[in-house]
């Protein structure tokens, strides 16, 4: 009877564990599917916000226009239609802000009921006009021509250099500055953190006595448990003013400030993983090196570190992964300027910081909302590549050990 009860309890435990693992796996899978579903839907959508349309006169040769060209027209960088493949007429821009310039209140009606007819007349009688207005004010027998605006493409999204997701009438969704800002800050952070972390790991594993190791180890592990917002406050109060004063900058919120802060945050991961790899070096290899006449430091440099290089590489990559995914601390110290990074001493913006800062203000199912999910897909892929790289290096290290 007791055996039956034990087996029954074991079956219940096994079933509970199986259900738990299944639910967890499905949850992660569904979250990933939801992320990519929302992100990919961006590329089937017009960059025009709301139900706006762009119209020209019927005689205008221009049939298609891109969001970048619309921005250049509004910025007056494009002033003639021949720059877009049309005639040499000057471009005349009409938006709802220009209603009072062209029409009186009586002409458009108290409830704008006469506005469709007036816009139709204006567009059909003005050869160089480009009119941007809501589709609900389009006349039933409109005599002008609706210009097709090119949908957001993956190439433009990845290679574009301007991030203005709330621009009106056409958003600008170039994420290259955000991608480069993320990689720029993260890689410089690892360049700073890796030598310090490796030196500390070597000291703890090969040089420090047991007493010192027992003191330093908990302190390093404590650093990993500090909330990122606390690191952000530290960076804002200490690192940002230091960088500003050292380089005589107008502001201290720069890529360098973010890199220094991320380097501090990545140190616990790098030190812990590197120390484990160094301590796992077989004692026989160290003794053989010493027996051949090498001193302790020669053994560390030429035997221990080369043997542990896979683990050290994994530590560096995990540190990069920590830096790339960091949100709050980076948001507080990098300046949040979505511009192409050319120097460590200028403000930048990273992908996680952009999502955290803008998602709460993006209208649900709007183009801004979907573009942030597309950014999440990019960050997911970057993190996935890093994790696969770590797994590859760990397997290589395991095979080498055998």
CB atoms within 10 A of CB 103: 17
Give the pLDDT confidence of 257-272 residue by residue, as tens digits. 999 999 999 999 899 8
Give the pLDDT confidence of 114-126 residue by residue, as tens digits. 899 999 999 988 8
- Could you tell me the residue ranges of all domains in the chain? 52-151, 176-401
- pLDDT at position 289: 85
345 CB contacts (<8 Å, ≥6 apart)?
243, 247, 249, 254, 255, 256
- pLDDT at position 182: 92
CB atoms within 10 A of CB 187: 14
Domain 176-401 has CATH 3.30.70.20: no
Burial class (CB in 10 A: 0-12, 13-18, 19+), 249: middle
Ranges of residues in the chain with a pLDDT under 70 are 1, 394, 396-402
- pLDDT at position 362: 87
CATH of domain 52-151: 3.40.190.10
Alpha-carbon distance 172 to 162, whole Å? 6
- pLDDT at position 398: 54
> By three-state DSSP, how is residue 80 classified?
strand
């Amino acid at each position: 009877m007791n055996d039956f009860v034990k087996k029954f309890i074991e079956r219940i435990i096994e079933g509970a564990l199986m259900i738990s693992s299944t639910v967890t796996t499905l949850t992660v899978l569904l979250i990933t599917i939801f992320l990519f579903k929302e992100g990919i839907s961006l590329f089937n959508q017009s960059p025009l916000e709301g139900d706006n349309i762009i119209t020209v006169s019927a005689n205008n040769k221009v049939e298609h226009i891109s969001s970048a060209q619309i921005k250049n027209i509004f910025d007056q960088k494009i002033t003639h239609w021949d720059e877009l493949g049309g005639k040499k007429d000057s471009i005349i821009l009409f938006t709802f802000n220009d209603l009072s310039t062209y029409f009186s209140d009586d002409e458009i009606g108290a409830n704008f009921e006469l506005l469709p007819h007036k816009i139709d007349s204006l567009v059909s009688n003005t050869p160089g006009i480009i009119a941007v207005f809501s589709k609900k004010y389009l006349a039933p027998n409109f005599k002008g021509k609706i210009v097709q605006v090119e949908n957001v493409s993956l190439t433009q999204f990845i290679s574009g250099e301007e991030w203005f997701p709330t621009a009106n009438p056409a958003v600008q969704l170039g994420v290259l500055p955000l991608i480069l800002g993320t990689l720029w800050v993260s890689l410089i952070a690892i360049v700073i953190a890796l030598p310090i972390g490796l030196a500390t790991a070597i000291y703890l594993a090969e040089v420090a006595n047991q007493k010192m190791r027992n003191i330093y180890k908990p302190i390093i592990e404590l650093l990993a448990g500090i909330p990122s917002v606390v690191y952000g406050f530290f960076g804002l109060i200490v690192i940002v003013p230091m960088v500003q004063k050292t380089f005589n900058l107008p502001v201290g919120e720069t890529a360098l400030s973010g890199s220094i802060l991320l380097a501090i945050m990545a140190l616990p991961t790098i030190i812990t993983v590197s120390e484990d790899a160094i301590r796992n070096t077989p004692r026989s290899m160290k003794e053989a090196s010493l027996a051949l006449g090498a001193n302790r430091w020669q053994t560390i440099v030429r035997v221990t570190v080369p043997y542990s290089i896979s683990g050290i590489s994994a530590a560096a990559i995990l540190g990069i992964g920590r830096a790339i995914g960091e949100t709050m601390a980076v948001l507080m110290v990098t300046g949040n300027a979505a511009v192409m990074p050319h120097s460590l001493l200028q403000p930048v913006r990273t992908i996680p910081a952009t999502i955290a800062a803008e998602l709460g203000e993006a209208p649900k199912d709007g183009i801004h909302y979907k573009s942030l999910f597309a950014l999440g897909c990019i960050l997911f892929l970057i993190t996935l590549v890093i994790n696969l790289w770590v797994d590859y290096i760990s397997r290589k290290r395991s095979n080498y050990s055998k």
